[in-house]
Amino acid sequence: MAQIFHRSTNTIARVSIYGAALIAFSAVYLLYIFAGSPYVTEVNMAKVQPVPFSHRHHAGELGIDCRYCHTSVEESSDAGIPPTQTCMTCHSQIWTGSPMLEPVRASYRDDQSIPWVRVNQVPDYVYFNHSIHINKGIGCTTCHGPVGDMPLTWQANSLQMGWCLDCHRAPQNFVRPRNQVFSVTYQTPSDQAELGPKLVKQYKIQSLTNCTTCHR
């Protein structure tokens, strides 16, 4: 009786056993890498804005406090996007003729908001509150990255749940003294291992990892 298959099929059959396992594992691994990649999370991708506002210039070089513009960050869930009037407190006096700032003046004249492009956003099913984080000693730059060095603003962290839990499971690694919360140049001190637990105790920080802490 003639053979149905060529003898090379034996080798192919053996290889395919390992091949299938390899393909299955690499597919899962690649998907995992993809899900955390900047292509999905948009981390480190500066957003084009209607006005090329530079946090490096305003917050870093000039040293304007975060709260000068983001006024509600200490009391509200939202940090707040400043209205054009906030810009005009200075820019009605300085750089009044700059063509770069024309959209700001136009917005002021026409009473139309500047359509800023949102950079950091959590999904609707996450109840994030800025004020509690600020008041418990979590600095702006802990989540938003080195804002004082950003010519255009980009998202510094993935904002994925795993990243949230890094801190919620171990807040002592990230907490800083309350008077340093708005510093854009703060560096984690070398004695964080001692300072962290002390501040956690002092500020009565709970490690909240219940589902309902964020998903209500």
Partner 1 sequence: MAAAPNPPVIEPGHTYASVTDKISSIVLTRKTPRGWYVGFGISFLLFMMFNYAVTYLLVKGVGIWGINIPVAWGFAIINFVWWIGIGHAGTLISAILLLLKQSWRTSINRFAEAMTLFAVACAGVFPLLHMGRPWLFYWLIPYPNTMFLWPQFRSPLVWDVFAVSTYATVSLLFWFVGLIPDLATMRDRARSRFVKVIYGFLAMGWRGSAVHWSRFEMASLLLAGLATPLVVSVHTVVSFDFAIALVPGWHTTIFPPYFVAGAIYSGFAMVLTLAIPMRKFYQLQDVITMRHLDNMAKVMLATGMVVAYGYIIEAFMSFYSGNTFEKFMTLNRWKGPYAFFYWCLIACNIAIPQMLWSKKVRSNVALLFVLALVINVGMWLERFVIVVTSLHRDFMPSAWGLYIPTRWDWAVYVGTIGFFLMLFFLFIRVLPAISIFELRTLVESEEAKPAS
**Nearest distance from residue 115's CB to partner 1, in Å?**
30
How far is 174 from 152, CA to CA, in rounded Å?
25
Q: Are 126 and 214 contacting, i.e. CB atoms less than 8 angstroms apart? A: yes
Of residues 4 and 48, the one with the C-beta less far from partner 1: 4
Of the two residues 117 and 211, which places its CB atom closer to partner 1 in the complex?
211
Instruction: Select 10 or 26, whichever has its Cβ closest to partner 1.
Output: 10
Task: Provide the binding-site residues for partner 1, judged by CB under 8 A.
Answer: 1, 4-5, 9-10, 13, 28, 32, 35-36, 158, 160-162, 165-166
Our CB check for partner 1 shows the closer of 26 and 76 to be 26
Find the shortest distance in angstroms from Cβ 10 to partner 1: 7
Q: Can you list the pairs that 30-38 forms with residues at least 24 positions away whose Cβ atoms lie under 8 Å?
A: 36/158, 36/160
> In whole angstroms, how close is the CB of 210 to partner 1 at the nearest point?
12
Helix, strand, coil tally for the chain in percent (to 5): 50, 0, 50
CA within 13 Å, CB half, 169: 6
